[in-house]
Amino acid sequence: MPWELIKLNDGTSIPSVAFGTWTLGGGSQATDFVDQAISVGFSHIDTAQAYRNEEEAGKAIRESGLPRKDLYITTKFSGRDGLDIETSIQNSLKFLGVDYVDLYLIHHPRLATPDIPTAWAKMEKLKQDGLVKSIGVSNFGVPELQILLDSAKIKPVANQILLHPYVHAQQLPIIAFGNAHGIVSEAYSVLIPLTHQPGGPVDKPVGAIAARLSVKPEQVLLAWAKAKGVVVVTSSTKKERLEGYLAAGDIELTPADVVAIDVAGAAGTRQLTVRTFVNRVAVVTLATALAFAVCGYMGVDLI
């Protein structure tokens, strides 16, 4: 099955793979990378106030010449420059050069000020005013989603969260809560096992599946995320990788493949927990030894 559209709870649909602009920097290079992603076939662009390249993304969007309806644009309220939600969306629309964005997210629950219900009511107003087609959140945990739902007149359509095999088990309750309430989860940083945590237990099943299917490890990880029923938000500066990401929509992992990656991810989480514990013990031991040495030197009796 290719990367298909996913139906949202407000009747709109979202392309299930997105090209993100977080790490692209600014200037003409950022425009070129977004342009490249659109040329390769990405129709969903994920940006944010915080990435400081909405203007560059907007330039690529305009230069693509594609009708507005053929692109799906997500941006986020990141509380940039201390501006409120109403001013921020106006700035984002101006930077992106569009009349509306398809999806507007509160980037993090700590930005929902003075509280989640008040901030969400402002988001609802933006939708009612036609500035945004859909509204959602990002990095919300279950308690924050619950607070939001308790006062919401309009439900969030999506919650964009960190999701890769090493955090899968801990993020599962958020995904399950979303599923139970019609909130689609979006996964970012799915490729962490390759980009930031290589050498962990996930490498083995991912490598074996990649060899069996003659595909790249990053394609296996994206196919794993797709199998979880989430929207995948990824990125690359390289054309061949982007083509591979899109082709990953056709990769059919078996249920056993998915479980093998889940199990390896959980094992990696345990390893990291043990490593963190050992590191903390080492730091405390070192600090204690240092304190004794200093006190001994100064002639202070600690016991």
Ligand X SMILES: NC(=O)c1ccc[n+]([C@@H]2O[C@H](COP(=O)([O-])OP(=O)(O)OC[C@H]3O[C@@H](n4cnc5c(N)ncnc54)[C@H](OP(=O)(O)O)[C@@H]3O)[C@@H](O)[C@H]2O)c1
**Site residues (vs ligand X, CB under 6 A):** 20-23, 46, 107, 138-139, 160, 188-192, 194-195, 217-218, 233-238, 241
Nearer to ligand X, 195 or 288 (CB): 195
Which residues are paired to 76 by β-bridges?
Answer: 105
Shortest distance (Å) from residue 23 CB to ligand X:
5
What is the C-alpha separation between 134 and 13, in angstroms, rounded?
10
Nearer to ligand X, 23 or 146 (CB): 23
With CA atoms as reference, report the closest residue to 148 among 130, 124, 173: 124
Residue 188 annotated to the active site: no
Shortest distance (Å) from residue 260 CB to ligand X:
19
Shortest distance (Å) from residue 75 CB to ligand X:
10
Nearer to ligand X, 56 or 218 (CB): 218
What is the C-alpha separation between 278 and 112, in angstroms, rounded?
36
Residue 107 assigned as binding residue: yes
Taking the alpha carbons of 62, 68, 74, 78 in that order, is the dihedral positive or negative? Answer: positive
Shortest distance (Å) from residue 192 CB to ligand X:
6
Where do runs of H (alpha helix) occur along the chain? 27-40, 54-64, 85-96, 116-128, 142-151, 168-180, 192-195, 203-213, 217-227, 239-247, 255-298
Choosing from 51, 72, 104, 245, the catalytic residue is 51
The residue with its CB nearest to ligand X is: 20
Nearer to ligand X, 107 or 168 (CB): 107
CA atoms within 13 A on the CB side of 183: 30
What is the C-alpha separation between 248 and 251, in angstroms, rounded?
5
Binding site, annotated residues for substrate = 107
Active site residues: 51
